[in-house]
Amino acid sequence: MKLLATGVNHTTAAVELRELLSFPEGEQAAALQALRQQPGVREAALLSTCNRTELYCLVEADAQDNLAHWLAQWHQLPLEQVKQALYHYEGAMALRHMMRVAGGLNSLVLGEPQILGQMRDAYSLSQENNALGSELQQAFQQVFAVAKAIRTDTAIGENPVSVAYAAVSLARHIFADLAGSRALLVGAGEMIQLVVRHLVEQGVTDITIANRTVSRAQELAATVAGKAIGLEALPDALADADIVIACTGSPKTVIEKAEVARALKRRKHKPIFMVDIAVPRDVAPDVGKLQDVYLYSVDDLQQAIAENVRQREAAAQEAEAIIDRAVAGYARRLRERDAVPSIRRYRQQVAALGQQELTEALALLQKGQDPAAVLQRFEHRLTRKIMHQPTVKLREFAADSRENAMQNADELLLTPTSKSIEI
């Protein structure tokens, strides 16, 4: 039996194929049950995100190809198309891969934290569907422990590396507490959706979405109990906003200096923090010349992000060292486990010899022989029987000049008398 991790991610498959190989949340339980029933699969877990689909399984030696066939059949895709995009990791390398995924080292955005929660969900789903046994459960616990150590002992998650997160993070440097701030977001596309999520995570509850198509603004605002307005209402909305983040697809600016100047007057010059992450720009550049306006462009954010990426890369090296230590321990335990069958056979052999001598000793005692003499006989015969095979082998090693074998025998057989012997 071995641990196996196989799947596709943003480095091996285009988004079109990743979409085809993904498992919608509603079918994951059924897919997991079907995976568990595949020949050679003893334990299984399934992870499916926008950037990866991965299977983590405890399998028999020849089960790897079965997983590729199963993925292709489940999604009704040509086998070769799936196999070309699949990667496979076994044993300690599979555990290393899982740790790198959970730690955010294998993500599109280095150090992103969401993947750890997604792996925890995959673990819980496997538990709920009785697809998780002791081996895979222990592997996941090690993965989660390492991911926690990476978050605790390195700075990999401290510096924002996405434009949306960087914009919100920059606002935190202007306002001591974002929770009491009022946010005006201009646009309703993917970038603004990410900004909304990050603002909510920071405790912002007063959010207004301004967009040319009001219905799209309403859809996004409804997710956070916010307010939706059209772009024509921007001048009035600016007066109420502490934070303005803009990202539309407009070919010309949508926020002008005069509008902001009037808003500042109505606010009695209470500062406004503004981030323009649109290209072309949404906020007229001369807005930044106004007092009490803190205006940042996407270029300002990119400079900060580039530095943060460098810092995350340095932290990633520390994270890799944490993983190296954990994987080395796991690999050692796997090697130790290889000795179990030999240890079991040796224990059985010695136990059989002891039982044989004990039976004879008890028979002699029942015949009334001297107990001390019986015990001496028992000790002498058992010792000779246990020593016989090692003694024969040692002589063979010496006769054949097998010095390494002799050294190994010394290390194996010669126990310092000062130490207790555990049976």
% pLDDT > 70, the chain = 97
pLDDT digits (tens, 9 = 90+) for 294-307: 999 888 887 777 77
For residue 136, is pLDDT > 70?
yes
Q: What confidence score (pLDDT) does residue 415 get?
A: 65
Between strands 272-276 and 243-246, the pairing is parallel
Of 21 and 172, the structure prediction assigns the larger pLDDT to 21
Tell whether pTM > 0.75: no
For residue 23, is pLDDT > 90?
yes
Question: With bands split at pLDDT 50, 70 and 90, how would you rate the model's confidence at 170?
Answer: confident
Q: What confidence score (pLDDT) does residue 193 get?
A: 92
Domain locations in the chain as residue ranges: 2-153, 163-305, 342-412
pLDDT digits (tens, 9 = 90+) for 230-246: 999 999 999 999 999 99
Tell me the CATH number for domain 163-305: 3.40.50.720
To which CATH superfamily is domain 2-153 assigned?
Glutamyl-tRNA reductase, N-terminal domain (3.30.460.30)
Of 423 and 240, the structure prediction assigns the larger pLDDT to 240
Beta carbons of 56 and 44 less than 8 angstroms apart: yes
Mean pLDDT value of segment 312-341: 89
pLDDT digits (tens, 9 = 90+) for 387-397: 888 888 888 88
Q: What confidence score (pLDDT) does residue 399 get?
A: 87
Q: What confidence score (pLDDT) does residue 423 get?
A: 46
Q: What confidence score (pLDDT) does residue 160 get?
A: 64
Active-site amino acid positions: 50
For residue 70, is pLDDT > 70?
yes
The average confidence (pLDDT) of the chain is: 90
Q: What confidence score (pLDDT) does residue 303 get?
A: 75
Of 343 and 183, the structure prediction assigns the larger pLDDT to 183
* Of 86-95, 99-108, 110-119, 133-142, the least confident: 110-119
